[in-house]
Amino acid sequence: MLAGAAFMLSLLICLGAYWKGLQGPLVLDDVPHLAPLYSGKLTRENWAAYLFDSSGPLKRPVAMATFLLNAMTSGDAIPRWKHTNLMIHLLTGLVVFWLSACLFSVREGRDDAPHWLAGAAVSTMWLLHPLHVSTVLYTVQRMTELSALFTFAGLLSYVLGRKAQIAGRPGGLPITLAFFVFAPLAVFSKENAVLFPCYLILLEVFLFRFKILQPTSFLNKTTLAVVLAAPVTVAGLYLALNLDDLVLRGYVMREFTLTERLLTELRVLVIYLYQLLIPLQQNMGFVHDDIVLSKGWLTPPTTLLSLITIIGLVWFAWVMRRRNPLVSFGIMFFFCAHLLESTILPLEIMFEHRNYLPSYGFLVAVVALVMQFGINRRAASALAVLTVAVLAFVTLLRATTWASEGTLYTEMMRVHPRSQRLATVLARLLTDAARYSEAKVVLAPHHSPGARLQGVYIACREAGALTEGVLLGLRDKLNPPIDNYAVIGLIDLANLGLDGKCEFPPDEYLALLTKALALPIQGKSNRLKLLVYKAHYLWLLKRPNEAIATLDEGHKLVTDDPIPLFLASEWLIELGDTERASAYYARATAVSRNSLMDYTPFMERIGKRIAEARGGSNAGAVLQESSGN
């Protein structure tokens, strides 16, 4: 009764702490992933394209399905989207409550009743921890939330099944649900849930110890160990055999090497632990691209200290495995949950949302240690009230900071003054407000290709023209990698020139773009975009054959995108080459019909132009003819 009341109170406190933050803006990855949905571009024809998003290798359809539902029911009312995130967070808290209560009651050979007070303690801290604000209120990180929800549900289902087996009762059904329902739902929300078997191995090693009463020929310690180890082994072999494609090639587009990332992640893991232990707003921020890279064990010295800290914690977990196995499980769960995003994969160095699931292990270990000390009821109550008060207050502060674009970016720049990503966003906001001088000051400390390009874009917006030679100077300073930031800068400049909003020599911009295309570019889609803009400038410079050839190159790069073919068809119509235009149109139409996107406006417009060029033939007939080809 007391535990249930405490948990319900924590849900209400959590709801109140987050409420003001629901009015906050979309940030970073929110816009490219969600804008087509809330901006009214969702149709009956293209909804499937959004369901299978390009966020990850498995497309994340479970998470995207919830965004589609928001789009259909809430439109562009973004607070409702964030409200959905908060409801998922509260629901996950309920699962964490039940799971923790079950874990704290695990005893070999006995089926003890759940320890609901321990469950309430862990779930309350997890719900209210301010580190999770940048997951819950970062709308697109619903993917992380859902992956954690289904992972926790899978763990709960497995624990219930194993406790039943240890007590001599059937437990196959909940274990089957864990493997074949919850784990797939987690993986198709976000791919880091592939670590699910690793968590089950930790449960067995530290808590259940592969114990089964009345084993049968189908179920014994050996077969259980093999079943749990098999997916981990297969995943390890797959990674080893595809190391170049999955890992090494990705570092071409990063400003750090594999070695530098591994060394830096040692410090990052310790920073995560510090943020969890000392939850102060000034230690947090939704971006951490300003973190200093580790170049060696003593560069900086905290690299070696972090390694010693991690080794010490792992050693402590091993020492405590019999005396207090929950401490051991919690510590190893934290590190295990970071295996995918904090080791060898060429991801960005640090993000707080990566702790949404791993933080659970830390909190389990903390509660297990406190319980081991056996403090009296009055002291325990005082500690609980103090902890809840501190966590709720800091979470309220962080959520309030997230309530508006102004407060969010001002606070984040205060905490991370060297962050290029924050400077980029703030400079864009200032530019849009025609505060050009302030935007330049914000960008001044940064010298990456993207920052330089954005600086020229700001100058272009301010003056309406660039002097001769500016773009050539920018070309000479352009160096790899050409990341998303640099690609956006190149496209922004291109559009200013094409729209007549800024005058500059088109041949200079073409030279800049040609240099960029000669360098490594992050992602095929980015290279395709730049090739299309190169074709536009070749066409502007009256070099039509080169423009068409550049569009052909783009289509060969991304064969399921018909835009280069449609554009080539339109230009060939203008050149009077109706026959070639029809051929390109036929190819574009064929690609469009196999696409999940809706290209009907393109087909109808260009079909009409081809019909007119042929002397008034019906556009529908042209479309039908192209379909037949």
At residue 213 the predicted structure's pLDDT band, cuts being 50, 70 and 90, is low
Cβ proximity of 551 and 567 under 8 Å: yes
Q: Which of 35-39, 280-284, 519-523 has the lowest mean pLDDT?
A: 35-39
Q: What's the mean pLDDT when you consider all of the chain?
A: 86
List of residues 6+ apart from 291 with CB closer than 8 A: 264, 267, 268, 349, 350
Residue 619 has pLDDT above 70, yes or no: no
Nearest Cα residue to 353 out of 143, 543, 517: 143
The alpha helices in 75-141, defined as continuous H runs, are 78-103, 116-128, 133-136
Residue 534 has pLDDT above 90, yes or no: yes
Distance, in Å, from the CA atom of 104 to the CA atom of 534, rounded to the nearest integer, reads 62
Residue 592 has pLDDT above 90, yes or no: no
SS (H, E, C) 459-484: HHHHHCECCCCHHHHHHHHCCCCECH
φ and ψ of 300, to 5 deg: -80, 170
Residue 81, classed as helix, strand or coil, is: helix
At residue 629 the predicted structure's pLDDT band, cuts being 50, 70 and 90, is very low
Mean pLDDT over 464-476 rounds to 89
Beta bridge partners of 110: 107
At residue 217 the predicted structure's pLDDT band, cuts being 50, 70 and 90, is very low
Residue 396 has pLDDT above 70, yes or no: yes
Residue 53 is given by DSSP the state: -
Beta bridge partners of 296: 299
Distance, in Å, from the CA atom of 87 to the CA atom of 407, rounded to the nearest integer, reads 24
Residue 521 has pLDDT above 90, yes or no: no
The alpha helices in 341-419, defined as continuous H runs, are 359-373, 377-401, 405-415
Q: Report pLDDT for 222.
A: 66
Distance, in Å, from the CA atom of 493 to the CA atom of 471, rounded to the nearest integer, reads 10
Position with higher pLDDT, 616 vs 182: 182
Which segment, 44-48, 235-239, 420-424, is predicted with the most confidence on average? Answer: 420-424
Q: Report pLDDT for 143.
A: 94
Q: Report pLDDT for 124.
A: 96
Residue 107 is given by DSSP the state: E
Position with higher pLDDT, 178 vs 595: 178
Burial bucket for residue 216 (CB in 10 Å: 0-12, 13-18, 19+): exposed
At residue 97 the predicted structure's pLDDT band, cuts being 50, 70 and 90, is very high
Cβ proximity of 405 and 426 under 8 Å: no
Q: Report pLDDT for 494.
A: 92
Mean pLDDT over 106-131 rounds to 84
Cβ proximity of 554 and 528 under 8 Å: yes
At residue 132 the predicted structure's pLDDT band, cuts being 50, 70 and 90, is very high
CA distances from 529 to 70, 535, 563 (A): 29, 10, 10
Mean pLDDT over 141-161 rounds to 96
Q: Which of 126-135, 232-241, 287-296, 469-478 has the lowest mean pLDDT?
A: 232-241
Residue 323 has pLDDT above 50, yes or no: yes
Q: Which of 32-46, 269-283, 369-383, 540-554 has the lowest mean pLDDT?
A: 32-46
Cβ proximity of 96 and 120 under 8 Å: no
Task: Count CB neighbours of 524 within 10 A.
Answer: 12
Task: For residue 351, give both structure tokens.
Answer: 């993000």
φ and ψ of 106, to 5 deg: -70, 125
